[in-house]
Amino acid sequence: MNTAPIALVTGASRGIGKAIAKELAKSGFIVYGTYAHNKAEADETCKEIQELGFQAQMFQVNVAHSEEITAFFDTVVKPAGTLHVLVNNAGITKDGLLLRMKDQDFDDVISVNLRGAFICAREAAKLMVKSRYGRIINISSIVGEMGNAGQVNYAAAKAGLLGMTKAMAKELASRSITVNAITPGFITTDMTKELTDDMREHYSKSIPLGRLGTVDDIAAAVVFLASAQASYITGQVLGINGGLYC
């Protein structure tokens, strides 16, 4: 029987989630990663981790659909016994100014970034409560703290994630389950590749450390919060933004 602890990372096929999956696998977790659309990229990530000699599997679970999440927990996670770490990382943007933002664009962003995280956390907590151990890490955003023009939907979802983190932390503390949030600043991934060179330069100049962040900057913090050493940290929001919001 495999006794390594299990970490579930949503949106693990690309970007920040991929780096988190790799680093958790390197630190001894069996990683269950999820993706929504791009199987080829998910398979590639899985292969990269396995070729390094670590354990990972990828599953197609669209976190906007609660029935896909519950089916995944029923058929994959519960039979594995327990879950040690959940990283709610899957996220999307559908940007637009308030006056032109469609209801659907608001709902879609809330569904993936906030409601999806809530359902994953609820299902994970059912298992973690039984084993009286768990780490839930929610990937929010600096935008949830300071707002951003054109991202009313995304800012609402990411700010909601912060409130949810603190409430869950209070509910689950008595079972030794910690719940924390990370608020990345501007990180180089597909999500930020639409930035023009001018915008990139503008943002870099306004970041005290003088550069955009990397996916590894975020993954390193997740590995720490997921570790046994972080057992007295809960309900916290860790900004990783080069000093942009401090």
Among 5, 7, 91, 125, binds ligand NAP (CB under 6 A): 91
Residue 44 and residue 28: Cα distance in Å, rounded?
20
Angle at 93 between CA 186 and CA 118, to 5 degrees: 100
Nearer to ligand NAP, 133 or 158 (CB): 158
- C-alpha closest to that of 162 among 200, 198, 105, 117: 117
Active site residue 133: no
- C-alpha closest to that of 106 among 56, 150, 171: 150
Question: In this structure, are residues 197 and 213 in contact, taking their beta carbons and an 8 Å threshold?
Answer: no
Among 35, 54, 73, 106, binds ligand NAP (CB under 6 A): 35
Among 38, 50, 75, 231, binds ligand NAP (CB under 6 A): 38
CA atoms in the 13 A half-sphere facing the CB of 35: 20
Residue 180 lies near ligand NAP (rule: CB under 6 A): no
Side chain identity at 27, as an amino acid letter? S
Compute how many residues bind ligand NAP; rule: CB under 6 A. Answer: 31
Residue 10 lies near ligand NAP (rule: CB under 6 A): yes
Residue 51 lies near ligand NAP (rule: CB under 6 A): no
Chain residues that interact with ligand NAP, rule: CB under 6 A = 10-11, 13-17, 34-38, 41, 62-64, 89-92, 112-113, 139, 141, 184, 186-187, 189-192
